[in-house]
């Protein structure tokens, strides 16, 4: 094994599998060791100097900790701690014969145990992985964000939890790349693969570390090519970065020891991770640096771009290399990693978010998360039929620290003209939302609450004995929230509540606002008594008072007559039924543009077959399928506030109206999450850096 040369010998060159070895010749308290304990783990450890963090380096296939020789020297010279293990199946580390033991959970558990063994049990580390080590690094940060400062993935991008189908992946890459980018997996899973590689080891090493990176595309990646190469015993020039000593190290690690290394591939093909990962939040909670070579011709199709939807803080660096980026251009890789680590440390990312999904903390609470959860991010395990109710089981609190969105109820039905009962709407929606709270978004598969800090602020207090106080009470209640730069999603209550809510938002964001209104009724019927509570005239008032701009406002689903729509664009229900979802979305986007926009969803926009529990049902309305499809495509809108109104549970059947409202609320939060995490266009959030 080649080790870095220092003025003081930091590494023990002798590898032991018995006891912890310390370099006695070192006068500095920095140690390097390889050791076996319990499950046999061979590693190099260099202690950090001062408050420098430790870097956990994880190698790939078919390498060893030797592949990090350039990084270990560079970063240890700067005082960083370096922990560099041989992973499962390599060197003198535990090498089980059964591929089912190569599940990511067990591998990460071994790494956590190793951290404890080297007295880093309470420390957070930067985890850096290449190839299979990159997958392990991504699982380390996914399973243990509380132990991770950040992750660096080299050559292999983050792939979210999911069931793996090799044939599907091969067909996709064939269609897109015109070759099977991981076709070599077919050979590696074969029962004779280990024997063939060991018999033609020189030929195999030549191909893996070829000087011509194009050979990866022509003679390694495609199905059948590795077997053909080895069968003929072909040789080629090795890459210039590989010295004879490097070659000998690789040879020694692979000679007669190939099957454990191939078990990593067989384990993924067998989906050994799925049982543990199928309920995990796929979102990565820490910053990630991804470094890829522009001449790397192996890998999962589309993974580099796809990872963006799961990693909010992602930096991608492309280098002119093949697959072995850290060996081909060590100086550039070291510089990129070093600079990124310093940026992460200096940024001091929000500690509340970092601690929001700590295993053993909120994520393992069972029941009553609304009053027991410590943080506004994350979720708890709940039973849909029991426990304290809040909207989508969010924290029930009036503390808006580190909160993005507050949900509040407006229990009002004094303005109804037909059937009262909407005062029970917020309560009914909360109850129904328990059916929605545990779900990941479909079809995205995103856990919204891992990224968007949402709380239930409770209900606005209304004195129904003094109705003249109600508009000001609603406006003041809303101001409590939005003046703290927290986005407000309100649950009605009858639709009149939108009028004082608009006043509160205009006072914060300026006027007039654009309005997107889903409704059976236009609610612009004229009235000469602006101080009366009337849920059919509040937008007449809003236009007259300049709260909304009718020329940039639009109503969808209308199916009641009015002589004067006051310049608001109408997409009535019949028009929606006769046109495509994309047509509806285009009309909405073109109408409101990038103006500050308030969205209000009156549940009677839906047909009574979907939402019977409302005060003024009108037949011929939209379906839930139409509504969800439209909302999902409205992410680009510049929202400043939202509400869902007119749910009246007394007239409902099997809670389908309340469930529809809860589902719409959830989809609106999905929009806000995507604006925050993907578009980076969510200006809300009560954080110190936004004050």
Helix ranges (H only) for 367-511 are 369-372, 425-433, 470-482, 498-509
The confidence score (pLDDT) of residue 299 equals 77
d(CA 452, CA 458): 18
3-state secondary structure of 184: helix
d(CA 274, CA 161): 7
For tokens 């969010």, the residue is: 394
d(CA 628, CA 632): 6
pTM over 0.75: no
Phi-psi region of 387 (alpha: psi -120 to 50; beta: other; left: phi over 0): left
Structure tokens at 396: 């029930």
* Parallel, antiparallel or unpaired: strands 81-85 and 43-46: antiparallel
Cβ neighbours of residue 312 closer than 8 Å, sequence gap 6 or more: 283, 284, 451, 676, 677
Strand partners, 129: 58, 153
Q: What is the pLDDT of residues 125-184, one digit of tens each?
A: 999 999 999 999 999 999 998 889 999 999 999 999 999 999 998 988 888 778 888 999
Give the CATH number of domain 362-690; options: 3.40.1280.10, 3.40.50.720, 3.40.50.800, 3.40.800.10. Answer: 3.40.800.10
Helix (H) or strand (E) holding 135: helix 132-143
Degrees (nearest 5) of the Cα angle 275, 280, 284? 135
Strand partners, 289: 152, 315
Q: How far apart are the first and last CA of the chain?
A: 54
The confidence score (pLDDT) of residue 98 equals 93
The confidence score (pLDDT) of residue 269 equals 95
Which of 370, 601, 599 lies closest to 487 in space, CA to CA? 599
CA distances from 90 to 136, 200, 255 (A): 14, 19, 11
d(CA 517, CA 499): 13
For tokens 């009724």, the residue is: 521
Write down the architecture of domain 43-163+286-354 according to CATH.
3-Layer(aba) Sandwich (3.40)
The confidence score (pLDDT) of residue 530 equals 62
The confidence score (pLDDT) of residue 55 equals 97
Structure tokens at 619: 């037949």
Asked if 206 contacts 235 with a C-beta cutoff of 8 angstroms, the reply is: yes
Asked if 418 contacts 501 with a C-beta cutoff of 8 angstroms, the reply is: no
3-state secondary structure of 7: coil
Structure tokens at 361: 């903390």
- Domain range annotation of the chain: 43-163+286-354, 166-266, 362-690
SS3 readout for 605-628: HECCCCCCCECCCCCCCECHHHHH
d(CA 319, CA 584): 43
The confidence score (pLDDT) of residue 12 equals 30
DSSP readout, 72-131? HHHHHHTT-EEEEEPPTTSTTS---S-GGGG-HHHHHHHHHHHHHHTT-TT--EEEEEET
Structure tokens at 86: 């041989």
Is there a cis peptide before residue 493, judged by omega within 30 degrees of 0? yes
* Cβ neighbours, 10 Å, residue 444: 16
Helix ranges (H only) for 516-618 are 538-544, 573-578, 581-592
Is there a cis peptide before residue 62, judged by omega within 30 degrees of 0? yes
Asked if 285 contacts 145 with a C-beta cutoff of 8 angstroms, the reply is: yes
Is there a cis peptide before residue 443, judged by omega within 30 degrees of 0? yes
Asked if 66 contacts 74 with a C-beta cutoff of 8 angstroms, the reply is: no
* Cβ neighbours, 10 Å, residue 542: 27
The confidence score (pLDDT) of residue 258 equals 93
Give the chain's residues under pLDDT 70: 1-39, 301-302, 348-365, 439, 530-531, 536, 688-691
Asked if 392 contacts 433 with a C-beta cutoff of 8 angstroms, the reply is: yes
* Cβ neighbours, 10 Å, residue 483: 12
d(CA 296, CA 307): 18
Which of 671, 649, 673 lies closest to 661 in space, CA to CA? 649
DSSP readout, 439-473? PPPTTT---GGGTS-EEEEEEPP--TTSGGGHHHH
């Amino acid at each position: 094994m080649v080790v870095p040369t220092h003025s003081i010998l930091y590494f023990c060159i002798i590898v032991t599998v018995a006891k912890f070895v310390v370099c006695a010749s070192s006068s500095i308290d920095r140690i390097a060791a390889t050791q076996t304990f319990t499950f046999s783990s061979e590693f190099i450890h260099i202690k950090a100097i001062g408050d420098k963090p430790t870097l956990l380096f994880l190698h790939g296939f078919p390498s060893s900790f030797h592949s990090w020789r350039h990084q270990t020297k560079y970063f240890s010279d700067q005082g960083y701690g370096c922990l560099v293990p041989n992973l499962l199946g390599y060197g003198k580390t535990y090498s089980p014969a059964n591929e089912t033991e190569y599940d990511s959970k067990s591998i990460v558990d071994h790494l956590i145990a190793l951290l404890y063994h080297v007295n880093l049990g309470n420390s957070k580390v930067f985890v850096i992985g290449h190839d299979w080590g990159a997958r392990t690094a991504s699982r380390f940060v996914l399973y243990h964000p509380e132990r991770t400062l950040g992750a660096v993935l080299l050559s292999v991008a983050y792939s979210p939890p999911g069931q793996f189908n090799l044939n599907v992946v091969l067909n996709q890459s064939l269609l897109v790349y015109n070759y099977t980018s991981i076709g070599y997996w077919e050979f590696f899973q074969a029962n004779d693969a280990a024997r063939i590689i060991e018999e033609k080891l020189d030929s195999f090493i030549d191909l893996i570390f070829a000087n011509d990176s194009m050979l990866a595309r022509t003679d390694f990646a495609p199905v059948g090519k590795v077997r053909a190469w080895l069968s003929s015993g072909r040789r080629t020039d090795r890459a210039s970065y590989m010295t004879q000593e490097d070659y000998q190290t690789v040879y020694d690690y692979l000679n007669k020891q190939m099957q454990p290394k191939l078990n990593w591939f067989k384990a993924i093909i067998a989906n050994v991770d799925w049982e543990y990962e199928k309920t995990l939040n796929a979102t990565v909670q820490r910053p990630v640096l991804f470094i890829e070579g522009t001449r790397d011709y192996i890998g999962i199709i589309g993974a580099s771009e796809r990872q963006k939807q799961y990693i909010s803080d992602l930096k991608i660096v492309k280098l002119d290399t093949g697959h072995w980026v850290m060996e081909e251009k060590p100086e550039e890789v070291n510089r990129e990693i070093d600079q990124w680590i310093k940026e992460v440390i200096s940024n001091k990312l929000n500690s509340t978010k970092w601690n929001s999904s700590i295993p053993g903390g909120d994520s393992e609470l069972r029941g009553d998360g609304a009053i027991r959860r410590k943080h506004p991010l994350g979720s708890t395990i709940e039973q849909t039929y029991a426990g304290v109710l809040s909207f989508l089981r969010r924290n029930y609190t009036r503390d808006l620290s580190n909160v993005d969105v507050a949900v509040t109820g407006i229990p009002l039905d004094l303005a109804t003209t037909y059937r009262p009962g909407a005062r029970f709407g917020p309560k009914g929606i909360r109850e129904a939302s328990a059916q929605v709270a545990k779900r990941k978004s479909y079809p995205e598969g995103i856990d919204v609450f891992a990224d968007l800090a949402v709380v239930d602020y409770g209900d606005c207090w209304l004195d129904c004995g003094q109705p003249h106080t109600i508009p000001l009470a609603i406006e003041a209640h809303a101001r409590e929230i939005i003046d703290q730069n927290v986005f407000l999603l309100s649950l009605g209550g009858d639709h009149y509540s939108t009028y004082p809510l608009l006043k509160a938002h205009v006072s914060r964001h300026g006027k007039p606002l654009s309005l997107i209104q889903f409704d059976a009724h236009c609610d612009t019927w004229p009235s000469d008594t602006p101080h009366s509570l009337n849920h059919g005239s509040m937008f007449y008032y809003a236009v007259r008072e300049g709260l909304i701009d009718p020329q940039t406002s639009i109503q969808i689903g209308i199916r009641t007559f009015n002589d004067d729509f006051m310049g608001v664009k109408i997409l009535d229900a019949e028009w929606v039924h006769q046109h495509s979802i994309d047509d509806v979305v285009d009309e909405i986007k073109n109408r409101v543009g990038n103006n500050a926009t308030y969205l209000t969803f009156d549940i009677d926009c839906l047909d009574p077959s979907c939402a019977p529990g409302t005060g003024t049902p009108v037949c011929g309305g939209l379906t839930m399928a139409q509504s969800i499809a439209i909302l999902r495509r409205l992410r680009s809108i510049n929202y400043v506030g939202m509400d869902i109104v007119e749910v009246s549970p007394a007239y409902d059947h099997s809670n389908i109206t309340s469930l529809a409202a809860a589902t719409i609320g959830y989809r609106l939060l999905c929009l806000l999450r995507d604006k925050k995490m993907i578009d980076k266009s969510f200006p809300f959030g009560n954080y110190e850096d936004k004050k």
